Amino acid sequence: MNVEAIVAALGLEVKCGREGLGREVTGGYTGDLLSDVMGNSKEGYIWITRQVHQNIVAVASLKEHAGIILINACEPAAETLQKAEAEKIPVMVSDLPAFELSGRIYNLLTSQS
C-alpha cells in the first residue's frame, strides 16, 4: 500500500511533499520522542506524531520514512513544510488522536496482501 492509498482511505490532508505520495509504506511507528523514533522506526515506515517542529523532517529523512502524519489536526510549522517539500517527504494531517489513527493504519497495512 502506498502513501496515497492511506491518504484516500483516511481522508488525510496533504500539506506538502506530494511527490512522495507514491512511496510504498512498509509499516508505521507512533511517537513524539525523536530518539525513540530514531532508534525504533524503520525505512519505509509512516511516522505518526504530534511534533510539528522542523526537526521531524531531519528524522524522517535520515530514517527514510515514507511520510509523516500529524495527529489531532496539529498544524505543521512553516519551516517544517519547506524542508519536507525539499526532501519530497509527504506531511499529512489527521483529525484523529494517535491511538485511533495508529489503529486504523495498522488495520489498513495488515488487511492487505
Ligand X SMILES: Nc1ncnc2c1ncn2[C@@H]1O[C@H](COP(=O)(O)OP(=O)(O)OP(=O)(O)O)[C@@H](O)[C@H]1O
| CA–CA separation, 40 and 89 (whole Å) | 19
| Cell numbers given for 74 | 496539529
Residue 86 makes contact with other proteins by CB under 8 A: no
Binding-site partner at residue 19 among other proteins, ligand X, none, CB < 5 to 8 Å by type: none
Residue 62 makes contact with ligand X by CB under 6 A: no
Residue 61 makes contact with other proteins by CB under 8 A: yes
Binding-site partner at residue 9 among ligand X, other proteins, none, CB < 5 to 8 Å by type: none
Least distance between other proteins and beta carbon 30 (Å): 13
Residue type, position 102, single letter: S
Q: Which of 39, 107, 97, 105 is nearest to 67 (CA)?
A: 105
Cβ-based nearer residue to ligand X, 35 or 113: 35
According to CB under 6 A, which one of 11, 21, 35, 96 is a site residue for ligand X? 35
Computed on alpha carbons and rounded to an integer, the radius of gyration of the chain in Å comes to: 12
Cα torsion 10, 36, 24, 61: sign: positive
